[in-house]
Structure 1
């Protein structure tokens, strides 16, 4: 999903995190992944779920954050459509009235970081409600998704993607999103990566204070996203 941040601000997010989930201890521990921005960490679960919903390329939808410019002619056609679907999701959610209205819940400095906090929170909500939205458990979905992506990966992909791809499955990032403590720790650790990010933790109190309303907003927003991506992908055929 699109954070609406400037290029300079996004560059300040470089040197970000890999995740390992400790068994019986729902706290994230982080390793550095060089030259990878936070943008490439947040939205994997929703993008994968939406891709499968449309029967789009899972790999293409993950590559949407790693491929710049026009992908046509650079990748197989299913991958190109997946990249374009990813970009549609980013634009659609960023402009959606529900998302725009929620930014008012983030006062002062926290509003600048609201898109980052909301992106993490949406994947948290999706993981929490997974049993209502998918016929397989989240762990099974993740295992199947990893297998499908590795089968699709028959061409040289950007190195930052390869690093994230490897660590995402090793660390079970997508499953960890279900615990809000992991979201909070992720924001805290990201805030230490750059002086520009020091105020990132200011979006944690609004996420906690308005947790119920934000969860209800997700329940309102996500079905509309599912419908919109179905139409958008069908028009790509």
Structure 2
């Protein structure tokens, strides 16, 4: 899942929004140098990603992609599911996404990763422009594909093909999301309720 889903799962499980966001940027298994709430959020993020990648619904959706962009299917699904979450936000949250994002931006100001240039750039852009709300609009996903395409070290020209595939198969994505996301929320709660951090 992508940024917005991880933040929503943080709200749903009452865990750290910052920690859940940092799962894409903090590496390694030893996280004891971080506050416990941040560590729990990172570990929840990793569990969510593992659950998503191994789920039959997601695996089946990936097989529907054209062969020329299938290697990017996970990225495309993650980003487009953020849009679908935003479009159906009221079904999954009593809190507005404006309130959630505002709280997240406040947390984001408190943390830095000096050795991670991409995180530093991204966090500054998030704080300066607060663009997560733009995922309400489908074209934001397509612009994100172009941005990712430009950053890839091993070039994969997938953005235009991904946009075309989504436009031709919106119902396929919507139906998968509606079936999958409630299961993911239950997984998040189960992980949080059964996870005890052991620090010695």
- Report the TM range for the smaller structure's normalisation: 0.7 to 0.9
TM-score in terms of structure 1 length: 0.75
Q: 1:123-202, aligned counterparts within 5 Å?
A: 123-150=82-109, 153=111, 156-158=112-114, 159-160=116-117, 161-194=119-152, 196-202=155-161
Return 5+ residue gaps in structure 2 as ranges: none
TM-score when scaled to structure 2? 0.88
TM-aligned CA deviation for residue 148 of structure 1: 3.7
| Distance (Å, rounded) in 2 between the aligned partners of 1:96 and 1:107 | 20
Partner deviation per Cα, 1:90-129 (whole Å, 9 max, x = no partner): 1000111110010122112121111111111110111111
Which residues in structure 2 correspond to 1:214-225 (within 5 Å)?
214-225=173-184
RMSD: 1.9
Question: Aligned pairs, how many?
Answer: 193
CA distance in 2, matches of 1:77, 1:117: 32
Structure 1 runs not aligned, ≥5 long: 2-42
Q: CA deviation at 1:209?
A: 1.0
Which of 154, 166, 189 matches 1:230? 189
Give the distance between the partners of 1:221 and 1:83, measured in 2 at CA.
21
The answer for the alignment partner of 1:109 in structure 2 is 68
CA distance in 2, matches of 1:130, 1:71: 34
Higher helix share goes to which structure?
Answer: 2
Q: For residues 193 and 72 of structure 1, do their structure 2 counterparts lie closer, same or farther at Cα, with a shift above 3 Å needed? A: closer
Structure with more of its chain in strand, by fraction: 1
Q: Conserved in 1, the CA contact under 8 Å of 2:145 and 2:158?
A: no
